[in-house]
Amino acid sequence: MKKFILLTILFLSSNAFSQEFPSLKSLLGHEIGLEFTRHHEVISFYENLHNTFENESKILEYGETNEGRKLILFFMSSEENVKSLDELRNIHSLRDSSSKLPIIWLSYNVHGNESSATESAILTAYKLLTEHKDWLKETIVIIDPCLNPDGRDRYVNFFKQYGSITENIDPSSIEHKEPWPGGRFNHYLFDLNRDWAWLTQVESQQRIKVYNQWLPHVHVDFHEQGYNEPYYFPPAAEPFHEIITDWQREFQERIGKNHAKYFDKEGWLYFSKEIFDLLYPSYGDTYPMYNGAIGMTYEQAGSGRAGKSVRTNLGDTLTLKDRIDHHVTTGLSTVEVSFQNKKELIENYNAFSLNRKYKYDHYILRGANDKLQKIINLLRAHDIEFGHVAKEGVANAWSFDSQSQETLKYTTSDLVVSTNQPKGPMVEVLFEPQTYLSDSLTYDITAWSLPYAYGLDAHGFKGDLEVSDNWSQSFERNPMPNCYAYLCKWNSMNSAAFLQSILSQNIAVKVAEKEFQIEDEVFPVGTLVIPRGINKDIAEFDEILQGAAKDSWIDIHPVASGYVSKGKDFGSSSYNEIFLPQVGVLSGGDLSPLNTGEIWHFFEKELAVPFRMFRVSELDRIDELDLIVLPEGELSASALEQLKPWIENGGRLLVFGDASYNFVADFDISVRDIDPDYSATEREELSGLITGAIYKCDLLAKSSPLTFGYEGYYSLRQSASNFSLKNGKTVLSLSENAQQVSGFVGSKAADNQGNAMILGIENYGKGELIYFCDNPLFRGFWENGKLLVANALYFDND
């Protein structure tokens, strides 16, 4: 009888437990780890989990992707804390001792085909709410289950289409080979893990708004690497940026040791202190570090080739369940260590920006209104404070252009970004003219300074400067209903957006190929001239121009006459009408998805230019196109032969980066490379590499339409290759004794840079090839390179 009663009690207890905590399968709809979960199912799971733990969780929908998929955050803590999330966030933002709860933000699947991450987020959230409520009483955990839903669903849909019913572990099977472009990238084929600082993509732009509201104490980015690699967790590898504190380094070690304890118990392989450094500021680990958090990358073996199970080089089988278990273990271990060290974690986070000594107290920036507006938009997105000089004066300051100290007369129109602010460390990282490298073996580019990227005249100033924070800009858009013409100086992508807008509304536009002057104002080459007379059939001529100028944040100048003080009058042949070409963008094959996406995004989102993106296999249908853009990558011999007659008959081909190699054999372009040393170690190979270094260029063809809007140019080089033209026109090049202004360049690579062509034109029959030997659209953040591409698009080089 006692035995019966005991069994009854156990049964009822078990039933009560199951009622309190529904199974993960019942919430998800399938067993975790047996199949991939599409994004709408992920959203449904978190909604079900929230309904189950309504008082201990909250869902925040913070945006949507280009393809309309939801972006969500899932908050977990105690019932009391969840009720007071807004209040707790405000207390945390003060960075003082009243903050008691560490905030841990876990981000998953920024690369879409690193697919175990989102599955791990599902199980991690469930375990925290069912097994670790004691941690949640004194922490706030934020889970972003998928930063890149478009890319992830691209991968999941591929796998569901080609995955075998009986799993095929052979890595040569089709289910382990994604088609171009793969699921790693977002809709526009951008790598979102390299967009945290630049914010070129809608996912990044929406996420950073919420991230900067919370600025967590700990942030983890869950990734996957090749399926033959073991698990990676911190501490990270050198180089660490100088801004990172000793305490941040030590806490990474503390977390790594805790992970190791669990991995050792299970016999799982892992490594740390290798490959993944903390330098480039636009990663999901470095960006949090530069804001005072403990930022970390975790890398599980797998990625797009792993499928649900795959045979490794060791002969083992790596399963999706294995990958999930590893990520769940490190995720929970992260929360555990943060919980155990909450007081120390909060104190050191709060002290991160205090009593810092920076190389410069202020960065003084000047340039055209629209160029300044571009960088202001970025500063605002990062909650970085800025202002303008309150009172003009003279000081000794470091010139980004001359690379030396010089006397600077600063004025009230100068933009100022100071390091004496909560985001001071981030300002230092983004603006510093030269990045210090503790180790030259890095995972990414080693230079990115924003004044060079945005084409601004900049100075670093040490000392006191009176700064006013009420920054404002004035734009000249005064209508003159009976004016002879409107003028627009051509100096940034805002000018190009304005031009595209009015061309799309059938406004006739001319471009000045020579400088001219009206009264005391000089208008440089490239100035847009929009005469009323040749637009007499446009009923709302003034309204269209005024509206387009306002939308593009530019100045337009009405003039009463076509007669100029100096130069050619507006009826001269020195003013050529602009016609928008029929544009095509090649894709697929062995072309770079990343560069294809950069070009796609540039035309569609920056300029709204109509274009046709087509596959390399469709080159037999290009006769109607005037201009084709060739992304980085390799073309087959047959594809090249199809392009030749099109160029000869007047086509214009824009060639990006290493795609220039395709033309070395049969065209005017040649290349000087560094002879490979096949016996060299990885570190020895560095001598022949350039890892994202900034070089100052020489403008060799100042009258070329390709340089309209430029008085100087800095290029971000990522290759040591030295291209040149035998008979063509070199427009931009490096000097004979070229040296980088920032970034790592190996000794052999440095010796190979003299007179390297950056931009050149080769005539071929009636057509031409325009070589962009350095990719000017790199990651969409090298703002000053974009106008070069716009020039090639709009202006004829004949």
Share of the chain above pLDDT 90, in %: 90
Encoded tokens for 105: 């933000």
What is the C-alpha radius of gyration for the chain, rounded to an integer number of angstroms?
A: 29
What is the average pLDDT across 430-453? 92
Give the residue from 170, 502, 430 showing the smallest Cα distance to 315: 170
pLDDT interval class at 11 (50, 70, 90): very low
pLDDT in tens, 229-270: 999 999 999 999 999 999 999 999 999 999 999 999 999 999
Q: Would you state the pLDDT for residue 463? A: 93
Q: Would you state the pLDDT for residue 326? A: 98
Query: What is the 8-class DSSP label of residue 229?
Result: S
pLDDT in tens, 184-236: 999 999 999 999 999 999 999 999 999 999 999 999 999 999 999 999 999 99
Terminal CA-CA length for the chain: 102
Q: Would you state the pLDDT for residue 474? A: 72
Whats the size of the chain, residue-wise? 798
- The rounded distance, in Å, linking the Cα atoms of 287 and 426 is 8
Give the residue from 430, 323, 345 showing the smallest Cα distance to 783: 430
Encoded tokens for 318: 């790596």
Q: Is 437's pLDDT higher than 60?
A: yes
pLDDT in tens, 340-351: 999 999 999 999
Q: Would you state the pLDDT for residue 769? A: 98
Q: SS3 of 102, please?
A: coil
Encoded tokens for 404: 């030396």
Contact, 694 vs 738, CB < 8 A? no
Task: Collect all residues with Cβ–Cβ distance below 8 Å to 166 and sequence separation of at least 6.
Answer: none
Tally of CB atoms within 10 A around 714: 22
pLDDT in tens, 554-606: 999 999 999 999 999 999 999 999 999 999 999 999 999 999 999 999 999 99
302 forms beta bridges with: 226
Give the residue from 217, 235, 337, 237 showing the smallest Cα distance to 289: 217
- The rounded distance, in Å, linking the Cα atoms of 594 and 614 is 16
Q: Would you state the pLDDT for residue 798? A: 59
586 forms beta bridges with: 614
pLDDT interval class at 16 (50, 70, 90): very low
What is the average pLDDT across 458-483? 84
pLDDT interval class at 98 (50, 70, 90): confident
- The rounded distance, in Å, linking the Cα atoms of 595 and 608 is 18
Rounded to the nearest integer, the mean pLDDT of the chain is: 94
Contact, 659 vs 635, CB < 8 A? yes
Q: The whole model's pTM is what?
A: 0.95
Encoded tokens for 47: 């909604």
pLDDT interval class at 17 (50, 70, 90): very low
Q: SS3 of 530, please?
A: strand
Q: Is 4's pLDDT higher than 60?
A: no
pLDDT in tens, 703-734: 899 999 999 999 999 999 999 999 999 999 99
pLDDT interval class at 797 (50, 70, 90): low
Q: Would you state the pLDDT for residue 598? A: 98
- The rounded distance, in Å, linking the Cα atoms of 235 and 253 is 5
Contact, 375 vs 199, CB < 8 A? no
Contact, 414 vs 388, CB < 8 A? yes
Give the residue from 590, 584, 779 showing the smallest Cα distance to 180: 590
Encoded tokens for 597: 């996406």
pLDDT interval class at 5 (50, 70, 90): very low
What is the average pLDDT across 661-669? 96
Share of the chain above pLDDT 70, in %: 97
Q: SS3 of 62, please?
A: strand
pLDDT in tens, 103-136: 999 999 999 999 999 999 999 999 999 999 999 9
Contact, 453 vs 784, CB < 8 A? yes
Q: Is 405's pLDDT higher than 50?
A: yes
Q: Would you state the pLDDT for residue 471? A: 77
